[in-house]
Amino acid sequence: MRIGIGLPAAIPGAPGCAVGQWAAAAEASGFESVGVIDRLVYDNLDPLVALAAAAARTERVELLTTVLNVPWRRNAVVLAKQLASLDRVSGGRLTAGLGLGGWPDDHEAVGPAPATLGAVMDEMVATMRDVWSAGLGGPGGAAIPALPLGRPRLLFGGFAPATFRRAARFGDGWVAPSFGHEALTASIDAIREAWRGARRPGQPRVVVERYFCLGSGAEEIAQHCLYHYYGPAYLAAVRADTVTTADQLERELRRLDDAGCDDVVFLPCDADVHQVELLAGALDGVLVRS
């Protein structure tokens, strides 16, 4: 599996400079990717701004949104331009994981939510793909230039059957939220079935998120962070897969590899950049033992 690390863009109170510091440290430590998650009504950085900061401090790592919530952004052409700009700034390193957004207050903050989020999503993705593939010209001859074929790479996140069909129709694979191993394995089967049904060659890429916190006070820090973000409704499911020790890390990597995951992105519960070093060191220990 490829191993990435999340940026501390959704940890309340984290200094803005932490994103660039983490990205540089992640690349220096050998991580394959850096990732960000998305909320609107929360103390977090916009994912595209965070990844632009990461792009400025790195040259190699993949830049992932896991995921960017599309429907409440409403304007597909503007979003296409933003994603294309980030892809160009980073030298083609962007992989855009896209989702519907599961927090009602995010949708309400931008006005009444559409009745059918899935239909809105499909329409917006189709428009964005048109912009990326053919460009968009204006009457005066100015244009948004097309991107090279296949850029940006697209993944889709969620557990609904429509998500798997959407990924097979538009994308390169699927992003699995951190909501339990049973849901993960069942969904991997579902995305592969949708892939075959769409007559796509090969296999879909499967990217899974897991939270982590290592070192002194890791259990308490993780509990506080995840409760603040997810609240009581989702805490238990997310917390069950959270890594706070080297032994848990080794077990989780084996489980995810056995399940058929291609990538795991470890999302931080602590904004201290020393967490990058701790995770890299723990991973080195796991690889030595294996």
For 252-286, the pLDDT digits (tens) are: 999 999 999 999 999 999 999 999 999 999 999 88
Residue spans of the domains in the chain: they are 2-289
**Cα dist from 97 to 6, 64, 206, 249, 275, whole Å:** 13, 7, 11, 24, 24
Partners of 109 in the beta sheet? Answer: none
What is the rounded average pLDDT of the residues 195-215? 98
> Which tokens go with 271?
């904004």
Q: Which CATH class is domain 2-289?
A: alpha beta
Peptide bond into 15 cis (omega under 30): no
Give the three-state DSSP class for 242: coil
What is the predicted pLDDT for the residue at 290? 58
Instruction: Look over the chain and give the mean of its residue pLDDT values, rounded to a whole number.
Output: 95
For the chain, percent of residues with pLDDT exceeding 90: 89
For 151-197, the pLDDT digits (tens) are: 999 999 999 999 999 999 999 999 998 888 999 999 999 999 999 99
Q: Report how far residue 221's alpha carbon sits from residue 225's, in angstroms, rounded to the nearest whole number.
A: 6
pLDDT score of 287 more than 80: no
Higher pLDDT, 180 or 7: 7
What is the rounded average pLDDT of the residues 90-110? 95
What is the predicted pLDDT for the residue at 173? 98
What is the predicted pLDDT for the residue at 142? 79
For the chain, percent of residues with pLDDT exceeding 70: 99
What is the rounded average pLDDT of the residues 82-94? 97
What is the predicted pLDDT for the residue at 237? 93
What is the rounded average pLDDT of the residues 73-77? 94
Maximum distance among all alpha carbons in the chain?
A: 63
Q: What angle do CA 262, 211, 225 make, to 5 degrees?
A: 160
Which of 33-47, 73-87, 139-153, 219-233 bottoms out in mean pLDDT, i.e. has the lowest?
A: 139-153
What is the rounded average pLDDT of the residues 20-27? 99
| pTM of the predicted model as reported, rounded to 2 decimal places | 0.96
Q: If residue 64 lies in a helix (H) or strand (E), which one and from where to where? A: strand 62-69
What is the rounded average pLDDT of the residues 199-218? 98
217 neighbors 244 (Cβ within 8 angstroms): no
Torsion angles phi and psi, residue 95, rounded to 5:
-120, 115
Q: Given pLDDT bands bounded at 50, 70 and 90, which one contains residue 289?
A: low
The radius of gyration of the chain's CA atoms, rounded to the nearest angstrom, is 18
Higher pLDDT, 179 or 29: 29
What is the rounded average pLDDT of the residues 52-63? 99
Those residues whose C-beta lies under 8 Å from the C-beta of residue 90, and which sit 6 or more positions away, are 51, 55, 63
Q: Report how far residue 1's alpha carbon sits from residue 205's, in angstroms, rounded to the nearest whole number.
A: 11
> Which tokens go with 276?
């990058």
What is the rounded average pLDDT of the residues 108-133? 92
What is the rounded average pLDDT of the residues 107-125? 90
